[in-house]
Amino acid sequence: MKFFVDTADIDDIRDLAATGLLDGVTTNPSLVAKSGRKFIPLIEEICEIVSGPVSAEVAATDYETMRKEAEILRKIADNIAVKVPLTPAGLKVCKELSDGGTMVNVTLCFSPAQAILAAKAGATFVSPFVGRLDDISEDGLGLISDICRIYENYPSFDTEVLVASVRNPLHIVESAKMGAHVATCPPSVIRQLYNHPLTTQGLETFVEDWKKTGQSIL
C-alpha cells in the first residue's frame, strides 16, 4: 500500500518525506485555506519536495472553467495529479486529461456506482471517503471493499483505490487487507502507525539492560 499525506503544511510534508516512507501528497481547497499560503506557489513547493503524485484540486464546478483550471494545474510539474470532483463535469474533464496522459484524482466518491464511472473515465485514482460515511452511520470500509471487488473483476480498469477521509490506523490496516492501493492520511494518523505499547515497553527494557552492561558501541 502506498502512503500519501493529506495536508498542505510544508513542515509536515518535509518531515514525513525525510522518512522515505511517503509516496505522495493530497491537498484540497480546505487544506490550502488552512495553510494561509498562495495556492500555486504552495503546490510548486510541494512538488519539489515529493517526487510522487501531488494532488492539486480545481476550484470550479462548471466544465469550461474546470478545464481551464486543470490546464494550469497540470503544467505545474510532471508529478501533478489534477483533482476533480465526481460530477458529470468533473468526469468529462477527467476523461480529457487522462486521454492526454495527465494523472487525475477523482474525489468525493461515496458509492460503488460512482467509482465505476471514475474508472471508465480513466481516473488514475478514485478517492472514496471512509470517515465521512462513518460520520453519518454508513459503512465507510464497506465501500472500500465493494470498490476493490468490482475493480478486480475488470482488468481493464487501471484506476487505483485511494482511501480518503482516514481517521485512524484501523482504517488503513483494514483497507490494506481489502487490497486498496493507496491511503491518504493526516500527518497525525501516519505517525500513529509507529505506536504500540509493547514496542515502547520493550525498548525501555532493552535500554535499561544495556546500561547495566556498562558498554558502548561507539
CA distance 209 to 76: 53
pLDDT of residue 143: 98
pLDDT of residue 12: 97
CA distances from 177 to 31, 77, 141, 172 (A): 28, 33, 11, 9
- Predicted confidence at residue 7, as pLDDT, reads 98
Locate 172 and state its grid cell: 488503513
CATH of the domain at 24: 3.20.20.70
Query: What's the pLDDT at 3?
Result: 98
Give the per-residue pLDDT at 168. 97
Please report whether residue 71 resides in a domain.
yes
Residue 63's pLDDT is 98
Any idea which residues carry the catalytic annotation? 83
The count of domains in the chain is 1
The answer to the question of residue 218 being in a domain is no
| pLDDT value of position 172 | 98
Is residue 23 domain-resident? yes
| 64: containing domain | 2-213
All cell numbers assigned to 107: 474525489
Query: Cα–Cα distance between 195 and 191 in angstroms, integer?
Result: 8
Asked whether residue 155 is domain-assigned, the answer is yes
Q: Where are the beta strands (DSSP E) in 15-144?
A: 24-26, 54-57, 80-85, 103-109, 125-128
- Stretches in the chain below the pLDDT threshold 70: none
Is 57 inside a domain boundary? yes
